[in-house]
């Protein structure tokens, strides 16, 4: 093996190690080059699948299992579409019932005051980030409401697909952009969401 081959392999392996360690930014700045990690896909076990569903929830319900890292769109006859998800960091997730109170394609994103306090580097985005491929909400978002009020929690896409299966967000539920588009199309406003 010549030194160029060795250098290329070291670069690839180093990039993979960086991805595995979770050393990635929460948002990629406009104009930043797309890294190898950015293009990485989630683990195969988190790919969308049509599966048998054993729960008691009625068809049309969305069930988010934060411990197993799966979201189920419950269907008729004991079936569900299962999606791999990324979840909130320890203690940063909504639990219980909510409804889909709003839907948006390529939504804009503004960090909350609490997010900025916890992660001061987000201050640079305090005026918001327009919708698009560099936005952390990804291709679509389903907004979770309780009692007619926005909970500030979302089911949304991500520009970091390698984070699916991990506890990395500020509380929202992440899906790949392809999966959130699929879920968005099959989910009407008013859909019940159960987060366990």
Residue 23 annotated as catalytic: no
Q: What is the CA radius of gyration of the chain?
A: 18
User: What is the percent of the chain where pLDDT is above 90?
Assistant: 57
pTM: 0.76
Q: Is 107 exposed, middle or buried (0-12, 13-18, 19+ CB in 10 A)?
A: buried
Per-residue pLDDT tens for 50-101?
A: 999 999 999 999 999 999 999 999 999 999 999 999 998 766 678 999 999 9
Per-residue pLDDT tens for 93-133?
A: 789 999 999 999 999 988 888 888 988 998 998 888 899 88
Residue 156 annotated as catalytic: yes
Per-residue pLDDT tens for 13-58?
A: 333 333 332 323 344 443 344 333 444 667 889 999 999 999 999 9
Mean pLDDT value of segment 148-157:
94
pLDDT for 114: 83
pLDDT for 155: 97
DSSP, residue by residue, 116-181:
HHH-GGGGGGTT-B-SSTTSTTTTEEEEEEETTEEEEEEEE--S-GGGTTSEEESSPEE--HHHHH
Higher confidence at residue 168 or residue 105? 105
25-34, 139-148, 159-168: the lowest-pLDDT one: 25-34
């Amino acid at each position: 093996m010549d030194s160029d081959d060795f250098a290329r392999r070291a670069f690839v392996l180093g990039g993979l190690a960086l991805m595995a360690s979770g050393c990635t930014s929460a948002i990629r700045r406009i104009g930043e080059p797309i890294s190898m990690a950015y293009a990485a896909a989630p683990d195969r076990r988190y790919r969308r699948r049509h599966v048998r569903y054993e729960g008691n929830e009625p068809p049309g319900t969305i069930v988010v299992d934060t411990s197993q890292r799966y979201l189920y769109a419950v269907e008729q006859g004991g079936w569900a579409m299962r999606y791999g998800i990324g979840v909130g960091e320890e203690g940063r997730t909504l639990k219980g019932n909510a409804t889909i109170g709003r839907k948006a394609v390529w939504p804009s994103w503004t960090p909350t005051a609490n997010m900025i306090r916890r992660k001061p580097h987000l201050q640079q985005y305090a005026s918001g980030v327009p919708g698009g491929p560099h936005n952390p909400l990804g291709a679509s978002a389903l907004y979770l409401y309780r009692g007619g009020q926005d909970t500030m929690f979302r089911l949304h896409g991500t520009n970091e697909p390698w984070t699916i299966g991990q506890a990395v967000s500020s509380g929202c539920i992440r899906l790949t952009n392809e999966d959130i588009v699929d879920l968005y199309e099959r989910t009407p406003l008013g859909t019940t969401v159960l987060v366990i």
